[in-house]
């Protein structure tokens, strides 16, 4: 298996890259602001801003040449935003949607043409449970992830007859750098909102992504990894 992961230098993306590598996959990742981290893990690492179609395409095809092909793409790059709606700006909207939604669109569009020619492929987006449930003070983030979920379901219907599967992992509160802003009390409060009474680990998201990549009869699904939120 040959896999291409955006935002693979840290957090969930790093865990996904390492998990797949541990299962024998050949791995390529992109980085944006974390070059040193990306290059120390031993994966093929390429600079790309997922908001920029041409940069991402260049990274994808360079990775394809290095790996000798790409079977799985994981659209992991994403950013959070915390603000009440009256404080959100047009720039906030553009940054969130261009990263979280356009970034997925860019990767899947690039990969689709390639995968259609080979009549096989697997696309996985890292999404959020807030894309379905919404979240107070995270309306832009939640809306961007809702767009991702709809996009995934639509592409699964569109590409299935070409043996291309499209799914998403919708994360709950995961212990990552993105959530490092949370105080211990806030983490405990979030944990109390789950059936399991704890927040999630990046490795548990990686396990779910690998499951979706390995199971050939799953497509169009948004798999919640949320501890029973």
pLDDT at 190 over 90: no
Task: Supply the CATH number for residue 150's domain.
Answer: 3.40.50.720
Q: Give 36's Cβ-side CA count (13 Å radius).
A: 0
Decide if 60 is catalytic: no
Q: Is the pLDDT of residue 141 over 90?
A: yes
| pLDDT given for residue 117 in this prediction | 94
Count structural domains, the chain.
Answer: 1
Quick one: average pLDDT of 199-207? 94
Query: In the chain, how long is the greatest CA-to-CA distance?
Result: 51
Both structure tokens of 51: 């908001």
Question: Does the pLDDT of residue 215 top 90, yes or no?
Answer: yes
Res 149: pLDDT: 98
- Backbone Cα Rg of the chain: 17
User: Which helix (H) or strand (E) element contains residue 31?
Assistant: strand 26-31
* pTM of the full structure: 0.93
Q: Which of 43-52, 132-141, 146-155 has the lowest mean pLDDT?
A: 132-141
Q: Pick the more confident residue, 119 or 38.
A: 119
Q: What is the pLDDT of residue 82?
A: 87
**Each residue's pLDDT tens digit, 90-136:** 999 999 999 999 999 999 999 999 999 999 999 999 999 998 988 88
pLDDT, tens digit, 9 for 90 and up, residues 4-25: 999 999 899 999 999 999 999 9
Average pLDDT taken over every residue of the chain: 93
Q: Are 55 and 30 in contact (CB under 8 A)?
A: no
Q: With residue 141 as reference, give the H or E element that holds it.
A: helix 139-159
Q: Which of 19, 31, 32, 141 is catalytic?
A: 141
Side-chain half-sphere of 54: how many Cα atoms within 13 Å? 0
Which residues constitute the domain of residue 204? 2-225
Torsion angle (degrees, nearest 10) of CA 91, 95, 96, 99: 170
Whether the predicted pLDDT of 157 surpasses 90: yes
Q: In the prediction, which pLDDT does 34 show?
A: 75
- Look up residue 9 and give its DSSP letter: T
């Amino acid at each position: 298996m040959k896999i291409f992961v955006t935002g693979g230098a840290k957090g969930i993306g790093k865990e996904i890259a390492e998990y797949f590598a541990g299962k024998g996959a050949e791995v390529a990742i992109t980085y944006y602001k974390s070059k040193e981290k990306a290059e120390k893990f031993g994966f093929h690492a390429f600079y790309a801003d997922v908001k920029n179609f041409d940069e991402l395409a260049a990274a994808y095809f360079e990775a394809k040449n290095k790996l000798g092909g790409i079977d799985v793409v994981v659209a992991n790059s994403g950013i959070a935003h915390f603000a009440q709606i009256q404080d959100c700006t047009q720039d906030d909207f553009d940054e969130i949607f261009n990263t979280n939604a356009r970034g997925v669109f860019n990767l899947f569009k690039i990969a689709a043409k390639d995968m259609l020619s080979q009549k096989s492929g697997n696309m996985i987006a890292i999404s959020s449970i807030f894309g379905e449930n919404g979240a107070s003070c995270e309306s832009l983030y939640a809306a961007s992830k809702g767009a991702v979920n709809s996009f995934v379901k639509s592409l699964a219907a569109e590409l299935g007859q070409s043996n291309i599967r499209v799914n998403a992992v919708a994360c709950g509160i995961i212990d990552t750098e993105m959530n490092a802003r949370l105080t211990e009390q806030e983490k405990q409060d979030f944990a109390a909102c789950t059936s399991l009474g704890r927040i999630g680990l990046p490795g548990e998201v990686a396990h779910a992504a690998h499951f979706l990549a390995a199971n050939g009869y799953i497509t169009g699904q948004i798999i919640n990894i949320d501890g029973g939120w």
